[in-house]
Amino acid sequence: MKIQPSAWREQGTRLLNPLLELFVRSGLSPNVITTIGFLVTAGAGVSFFFGRLQLGGLLVLLGGLFDVIDGYVARKRGLSTVFGSFYDSTLDRISEVVVLLGVLSLYNGDYPTLGEPWMVYVVASALAGSLLVSYTRARAEGLGIDCRVGLMQRAERILLLGIATLFFGSWKDGVVLTWVMIVMAVTTNLTALYRIYWVYQHTRATAAPPPATPKRSQAKSPVKGSF
């Protein structure tokens, strides 16, 4: 069964069409928009580091919006390039590391209200799982297999973290963020495992049949001759 919750994403893109078209007409190149989105998301990581959870949540969501915009502009204006795709994916990974390192810093004992030291391992697991989700997709697509499957893809991670911190912040010692991190740690790694299974199923189905065993040739009897 293919787990791909994409219908709501398509609906969300349609709702954003007026804003997306505005950026298409702005003349900004997709790579410039990607860079702006990266700086915004990196700002979210810095905000988390200084304990500004609600600002960090807002910047996470805003950075995610730029992540939608750059791809839309590239497609609409026919500016999609191999480097642009590589640049976008690379900055996405860097920004995700920065954001989750910012979240991790909330649990290292310096923040006055979020002081559960064991949570650093949960956040580290969420970070590892997030990178594995991206890596498995990239590796599968390098093999020619569509691997956009799973429950905790990038869009879900952005919305979950952004909404939780924007609306709840450090409420009740950050209990909402704590549970969001636990859920993200579990589901990202499960998604990575599911993608491994997905690729296994596809490679098994398309595996080349073993080479046929050549027929054994009949040995010719030696020609008898007189000496």
pLDDT at 199: 95
SS3 label, residue 214: coil
216: buried, middle or exposed (CB in 10 Å: 19+, 13-18, 0-12)? exposed
Q: Looking at residue 150, what is its pLDDT?
A: 85
What is the rounded distance in angstroms from the CA atom of residue 102 to the CA atom of residue 179? 17
Q: What is the pLDDT of residue 193?
A: 96
**Neighbouring residues of 114: CB distance < 8 A, sequence distance ≥ 6:** 106, 107, 170, 173, 174, 177, 178
Domain ranges of the chain: 16-206
CA–CA distance, 224 with 205 (Å, rounded to integer): 54
**pLDDT score recorded for residue 81:** 93
Say if CB 57 and CB 161 are below 8 A apart: yes
- Distance, CA of 38 to CA of 220 (rounded, Å): 75
pLDDT confidence of residue 225: 44
> Which CATH number does 16-206 carry?
1.20.120.1760
161 within 8 A of 155, measured Cβ to Cβ? no
Q: Indicate the burial class of 60 (C-beta count within 10 angstroms; 0-12, 13-18, 19 or more).
A: buried
| Whole-number Å distance between alpha carbons of 58 and 217 | 75
Burial of 39 (C-beta count, 10 Å sphere; 0-12/13-18/19+): middle
pLDDT at 121: 95
pLDDT at 10: 63
Predicted pLDDT of residue 222 = 46
Q: Could you give phi then psi for residue 130, rounded to 5 degrees?
A: -60, -45
In order along its 227 residues, the chain shows pLDDT tens digits of 444 445 555 666 677 788 889 998 998 999 999 999 999 999 999 999 999 999 999 999 999 999 999 999 999 999 999 999 999 999 999 999 999 999 999 988 666 557 678 899 999 999 999 999 999 999 999 999 999 888 888 889 999 999 999 999 988 888 999 999 999 999 999 999 999 999 999 998 665 555 556 555 444 444 444 33
Distance CA 136, CA 157 (A): 16
| Nearest-10 crossing angle of helices 119-142, 154-168 | 150
Reduced to 3 states (helix: H, G, I; strand: E, B; else coil), residue 224 is: coil
* The pLDDT of residue 151: 84
